[in-house]
Amino acid sequence: MTRAARLWLVVIGAVALAALGGAAFARWASTDSSNFAAAGGDSLQAGPAPAVSGVNGQSVTITWPARATAGGRAATGYTVARYSVPSGGSPTAATGGCAGTVAALTCTEDPAAAGTWYYTVTPRIALWAGAEGSRSGAIVVTAPSLTFTANQSFTTLPATLAGGALSHFRNGESVTFRLDSAAGPVLAGSISTADGTGAAGPFTVTIPTGVAAGTHAAVAVGSQGSQATGTSFTVVDSRPTVTSITRAGTHPAKAGPLTWTVTFSEPVNSVGTGNFGLATGNIGSSAPSITSATPSGGAPSATWTVSVLTTGTTGANNGSIGLNLTSASTIADTGGNGLNATLPVVGQAYTYDTTRPTLTSVNRSADNPARATPLTWVVTFAEPVSNVATSNFTLTNTLLTGTPSITSVTPTITPPSATWTVTVSTTGVTASAGTIRLNMASAGTVADAAANALSATGIPFSGEAYSYDTAAPTLASVNRAAGEPVTTNAGPLAWTATFSEPVDGVAAGNFTIVTTGTAGTAPSITSVASTGDAPSATWTVTVSTTGTTATAGTVGLNYTSAGAIADAAGNGLSTAPTVTGQTYSYDTYPPTVAITSLAAGNGSSKIDVNGTGSTGANDGKVTLYLCRTSPCNLAGANQTYTNLTVAADGTWGVSTGNIGTGTWYATATRTDTAGNTTTATFGPFVR
């Protein structure tokens, strides 16, 4: 047989073995260098269904028969798994002594998780594994448990926790009891070992002194790893406690004795002044002192009255005296249980005030000046007070027609209040420059919360006054601004609007510009400004005339609308719809002037000068300058002739004195009343 043929026989044999149950493997080997070979195959049986027994706490023992190959080769090990269902599902590898590959035919899984389990075994030879065997019957693993009689509660310690029972611990396992956790304090139990079935009971556990009030549980800790937490129990602190320390007298207070009621959770004995301390603030002179602690109805009592003497003690309006429990010693209930308290136990405090309140101010609380009802004032005291009434106040009035009256006094907050609003009606009251003042005239029964009466120092007290004005302002005039020329040739132009009293709200819309004989751009109001801060009795209205032309025009300003103009009290302007203001003569065209001749005068060096000019009434006089040079330096002219009048026929002239021979140049100027100037020149002329 050839080498290739022998190789194919090996392959065919391996395929045939693979079709058999269990696991199959094949081998071949060459026997010598002449290529003779041998081949063989074998299969490993499927795993057996294991037997499960010996549940001890969480310990499960699994056993099974051996498995071998068809050729008689024994399995070298087994792997163990468990399922939570009898068929299907996913396997979980066993733990403890059954973890990994087990060489023996038995193993113990310790600990096994609580639950119902079905175990399987799979045989193995080295890396070869047989088929997983059938599942075992169900085995139930129950978690360790610890129970006691339910709802046990203890008011005194030590105490006995009864009705104990434990189960599913290890057979014969030693047990230690602990408080609240496996690491908690050790508790003494009446048993220390589980029996041969992992159970014990009934038994008791002792709860020692010192265990805090609250809900607790005993924990059983086994020496072989079992652990269970028992039914909870309650420790109730039976020691008396302080329920409250409350004021028993009037608060705030201005005098003693001050008393407090101290309430305990149950009747107690031996409460004394030494159990208490005082907490004080902002007091002076003699310190207060605790004088007695008295039981209600005799001791033991759940309520005690503590008294404090304040003779000679003074306090400001924020003084305080509080009572605190500072020592629990000697206080105990009828069973001898001492007081349970975290010190200090802080009680209520009295506001202690021996200082009389004072009046601080009586101020207006609305706009001033005023013109309408009602008027209000805020009256402020140094501390909150009560019993403020209309009878505490009077009014002082000037220049009124009619009589105002006080109608109400209202606290800002529920009394006592540090601020009060006094309201005054002015219905039917008129004035143009009146005043209404509120005064506090009497302390009456005004007192603070501690019943200290209002100090009379500074009373009567004069409060602030309202300026009272119901008369409407009027417009007196709209005149050209002081110092401005009547006739002008350019702006800006200004007018002063004068009112009967200071007003506000004056604007461009209150006025209209009136013109005659003008052309070009119409004049416009550019600003309306008060003299000083508004309100003001005088306002300046400014008008721009940029681009405005005229030969003999006028520009005037009239008041045409009251608009929002009002005095400081809010009375609107009452002036009639139109007030005609003053006007400016407005002229932008200059007069005419000309020099028609220079001629030799009657004399050795005289000159006759003649000219022409316009004849308007406001065209102004002619000034003549004679100079030796041209152009003529007017400031340094050799000869100057002023106030030369143009005759009705439009001519003017002048004869000089003997001014010398030679060459002369003449310049004539003329300025009208609007400030327009024109100039004419002549020359040279030789004399």
Cis amide prior to 416 (ω within 30 degrees): yes
Q: In this structure, what token pair is assigned to residue 540? A: 């300046």
3-state class percentages of the chain: helix first, strand second, coil last, to nearest 5: 5, 50, 45
Query: Which CATH number does 145-235 carry?
Result: 2.60.40.2550
**Topology of domain 475-586, per CATH?**
Immunoglobulin-like (2.60.40)
In Å, the largest CA–CA distance within the chain is: 180
Please list the ranges in the chain whose pLDDT falls under 70.
Answer: 1-40
In the chain, CATH 2.60.40.10 sits at 45-141, 593-686
The whole-angstrom separation of Cα 332 and Cα 338 is 4
How is residue 57 annotated by DSSP?
T
Q: In this structure, what token pair is assigned to residue 566? A: 């009002």
Query: Which CATH number does 359-468 carry?
Result: 2.60.40
The whole-angstrom separation of Cα 680 and Cα 668 is 5
pLDDT in tens, 63-87: 999 999 999 999 999 999 999 999 9
In the chain, CATH 2.60.40.1220 sits at 242-352, 475-586
Q: Taking the alpha carbons of 460, 461, 462, 464 in that order, is the dihedral positive or negative?
A: negative
Burial class (CB in 10 A: 0-12, 13-18, 19+), 376: middle
How do strand 651-655 and strand 276-285 relate by DSSP bridges? unpaired
CA dihedral of residues 142, 146, 147, 153 (deg, nearest 10): -150
DSSP 3-state of 501: strand
The whole-angstrom separation of Cα 384 and Cα 476 is 52
Output phi, psi for 442, to 5 deg: -150, 140
Contact between 1 and 37 (Cβ < 8 Å)? no
Q: What is the CATH architecture of 242-352?
A: Sandwich (2.60)
For domain 45-141, give its CATH number from 2.30.42.10, 2.60.40.10, 3.30.9.10, 2.40.420.20.
2.60.40.10
Output phi, psi for 603, to 5 deg: 160, 170
DSSP 3-state of 498: strand
Q: 323-337: buried (b, 16+ CB within 10 Å) or exposed (e) per residue?
A: bbbbebeebbbeeeb
> Which pLDDT does position 543 carry in this prediction?
98
Q: In this structure, what token pair is assigned to residue 257? A: 């004795």
pLDDT in tens, 180-229: 999 999 999 999 999 988 899 999 999 998 898 899 999 999 998 899 99
DSSP 3-state of 18: helix
The whole-angstrom separation of Cα 684 and Cα 598 is 9
Give the contacts of 381 (CB within 8 A, at least 6 positions apart).
357, 358, 359, 360, 418, 419, 420, 446, 454
DSSP 3-state of 275: helix
> Which pLDDT does position 40 carry in this prediction?
53
CB atoms within 10 A of CB 2: 8
> Which pLDDT does position 157 carry in this prediction?
86
The whole-angstrom separation of Cα 164 and Cα 476 is 112
- Name which of 438, 413, 433, 443 is nearest 423 in CA terms: 438
The whole-angstrom separation of Cα 201 and Cα 220 is 13
CATH class of the structural domain 593-686: mainly beta
